[in-house]
Structure 1
Amino acid sequence: MPKLASRPVLVPGLGLDERSSARLRELLPADVVLLPGMGLSGPVPSLEELAALLRDRLGGGPVLLVGHSQSCQVVAALAGDRRVSGLVLLGPTTDPRLRSVGGLVRRWVATALGERWPHALLALPQWLCTGPRAMRQLWAVASPDRIDVRLRTAGVPVTVVRGTRDRLCAHDWAATVAAAAPRGRLLELPGAAHLSPMTHPEEVAGLVREAAAERRPGA
């Protein structure tokens, strides 16, 4: 098993909390940072303020930031922090095609049908704890963000990961996000949908470990 050169820091997705990565963290030592709309039920501030909250929680580097779903926008905003050695983006959303209610509902239903049950059911109590108000606020804050544009100036390795059954993060959108980063790459998890940290922890742990083992030039 390769020694980790960076400390993984996980940020849960929309409405999720530390329970979403419990099985993953049994396989991989990692910290979890909860933010409003992502495990915390308080009012959701702007994307820049969310990034500042995460920045204040990073501690010493080097750090590998791991975002899931809508937290990918927050971790991408910190790509330029000197402590950040790389990004892993699990199922990044904000595909412009999801901004319409109809498009979002159709893709959410198609993705839900592709999830691995019963592990995906663990999301329900997390969504209830975070609450629909905070989740709506986070969606309103994050969905307009062009993560593909933001990543054009990322100077660190960026690994975009999607499940092959994920309709919220379609293949063409994930490929666009990965291609936007100068050092980006796309990996796909066969049979996974959107809740890969919960349904495919072994595979996710392996790719996060690989990214965290990579040393920065000159380190």
Structure 2
Amino acid sequence: MFYLIPGLGADERVFQRLQPLLHGETELLPWLPPESDNETLPHYAARMAAGIPLAATGLLVGVSFGGVVGLEINRLRPGLRTVLVSSVPDADSLPPLLRLVRATGIYKLFPPQWLKLFPRAGQWYFGVKGGAEYRLFKRILRDMEPRYTRWAIACLLHWDSTQVGRSIQILGTRDRVFPPGPTPVEYLIKGGGHFMVLSHAEEIAQILNGLTAEGEEVMRK
């Protein structure tokens, strides 16, 4: 089973190329509205995990912020393996730019919906290609819910990843949001940007299908 968690402010549309390539059942975990601006990430993850059986096995695939939530869900569903796509394995792996944003608190001054006014800047930062990818990106920006986005950004920047479980990281070499750093990455996708769940869906699917096959082989033994 593949449990899929999209990135911050995104939805099932980001998996439209990847999902058909996966060898097995898939279940999308849609975002829930935060109960309040102060809802903790562990509490939120527990609500997200409510529909996942306690003994569930398979892959929990989280894109960007979805990977962070996936790691929190994994604390509650240890039978799953978390795979991070364009995401980070712990809070210490946040890049310098996001650390600066956190330290200055500048993210509190600019409403997330401002990004809707500058889609070309977002296209560059997230590594979105032109054509259909850019049109989808603009639709996702248009549908972004400001309250949820503000809450999610704060959770990401102040994430307590103490004793977070192990994960498998798939990162693009051209990811500007979470660029590769000194920490080893299990799978580096050449030329992949932050939106590579779309642009490099075939390569990601090959990795995920391989991980599933490995897991099934271990279970048989």
TM-score (norm: length of structure 1): 0.75
Which ranges in structure 1 are unaligned for 5 or more consecutive residues? 1-6, 180-184
Paired with 1:33 and 1:164, the residues of 2 have a C-alpha distance of: 27
Aligned twin of 1:129? 143
Q: Sequence identity, in percent?
A: 25
Deviation of the 1:214 alpha carbon: 2.4
**Pairs within 5 Å for 1:20-99:** 20-28=14-22, 29-36=25-32, 45-59=39-53, 61-82=56-77, 84-93=79-88, 95=94, 97=96, 98-99=98-99
Paired with 1:77 and 1:57, the residues of 2 have a C-alpha distance of: 15
TM-score (norm: length of structure 2): 0.74
Residue 141 to residue 15, structure 1, CA distance change in 2 (3 Å): same
| Alpha carbons 2:46, 2:76 under 8 Å: kept | no
**Pairs within 5 Å for 1:176-191:** 176=183, 185-191=185-191
Paired with 1:48 and 1:162, the residues of 2 have a C-alpha distance of: 24
Deviation of the 1:146 alpha carbon: 4.6
Aligned twin of 2:211? 211
| Alpha carbons 1:76, 1:150 under 8 Å: kept | no
Residue 127 to residue 46, structure 1, CA distance change in 2 (3 Å): farther
SS at match of 1:171: coil
Q: For the pair shown, which has the larger CA radius of gyration, 1 or 2?
A: 2
Cα deviation, 1:93-144, whole Å, max 9, x if unaligned, reads: 5615213349999x967534x4322314312222332322211111012221
Which ranges in structure 2 are unaligned for 5 or more consecutive residues? 108-114, 116-120
Deviation of the 1:79 alpha carbon: 2.7
- Structure 1: which amino acid aligns with 2:130? W
Aligned twin of 2:192? 192
Deviation of the 1:150 alpha carbon: 3.8
Q: Are 1:17 and 2:30 an aligned pair? A: no
Q: Name the Cα RMSD after superposition.
A: 3.0
| Alpha carbons 1:35, 1:50 under 8 Å: kept | no
- Give the length in aligned residue pairs: 194
Deviation of the 1:161 alpha carbon: 0.9
